Structure 1
């Protein structure tokens, strides 16, 4: 890992801790709960939030759904969606985030599914491609495409995704 990549990783980790503190402060002041549905990050978003004291006031639960079967069983992602679009898609990220909301007591949820590398990418879905789903009250959901540098390490791609998810939760609550 290059010095620049190490510095970026360290900065993102520090910033993510600050963002997680903001999630807890902002969500608890409004009396709302959050849930996560994670594939490529393997629970790191939930971990970032629950690393902070007071997280129980805002964090309902996290779903780590690495396999397609887990996405279907735990979140209700449809087999037809997975077959038609693949696990790394806006459609799956949307079904994941809606599943997390419907299968929890959370007011807001975030989902991520992507290719963290170093292998597993393709021309259409390269390493560094992540789809993030967001949902708030009323089952409103959106999906956002994130494209990280494919030369980044797996650790950096996953850490950047955690950072983006925490930022998105804060923006979604404020928006």
Structure 2
């Protein structure tokens, strides 16, 4: 799976990203390619909770109740990106790249949100304590795969 496949599959549809632990890696992968401006609308890195609220409309109560690394926050991030960018597909990523984590939210846990015309889908992937860079790359690749599947559906 590659960003080039996303550009080929888009066929006039547009994409936005809302990233936290990946720090813009998905947006970078998409914009590394010529012609990406026809598909990629914008990306936002919302590393802090305040940025998630201010830029994407994530509710404080959702953050307080579930924490930043959660499917409910990933869902609100994806929906916020979709609404604000007016795109066909929006992906969100929030997780714990490491080092660190806790018993309840271990290092390597990443939550994804995907907003399409069909609604918002969320999922959590535990990549494990494979190191910060490896978690970030794996999360980037997983998000790109989510976008591609949405465009192919």
Q: What residue in structure 2 maps to residue 62 of structure 1?
A: 43
Q: What residue in structure 2 maps to residue 131 of structure 1?
A: 111
User: SS where residue 122 of structure 1 aligns?
Assistant: coil
Task: State which of 153, 171, 174 in structure 1 corresponds to 2:131.
Answer: 153
Counterpart-to-counterpart distance in 2, 1:105 and 1:89: 24
1:105 offset after TM fit, Å? 2.6
Q: What residue in structure 1 maps to residue 122 of structure 2?
A: 143
User: SS where residue 23 of structure 1 aligns?
Assistant: helix
> Number of paired residues?
153
Mapping of 1:4-153 within 5 angstroms?
19-27=2-10, 30-119=11-100, 121-137=101-117, 140-150=119-129, 152-153=130-131
1:173 offset after TM fit, Å? 1.6
1:169 aligns with 2:147: yes
User: SS where residue 2 of structure 2 aligns?
Assistant: helix
Counterpart-to-counterpart distance in 1, 2:82 and 2:104: 29
Counterpart-to-counterpart distance in 1, 2:52 and 2:128: 26
1:149 offset after TM fit, Å? 1.9
Q: Which has the higher helix share?
A: 1
* Runs of 4+ with deviation above 6 angstroms: none
TM-score normalized with structure 1 length: 0.85
Larger CA Rg, structure 1 vs 2: 1
**What does the per-residue CA deviation read over 1:43-91, in whole Å, with 9 as the maximum and x for residues that have no partner?**
0000000001110010000010000000000000000000000000000
TM-score normalized with structure 2 length: 0.97
Q: What residue in structure 2 maps to residue 6 of structure 1?
A: none
Q: CA RMSD in A?
A: 0.9
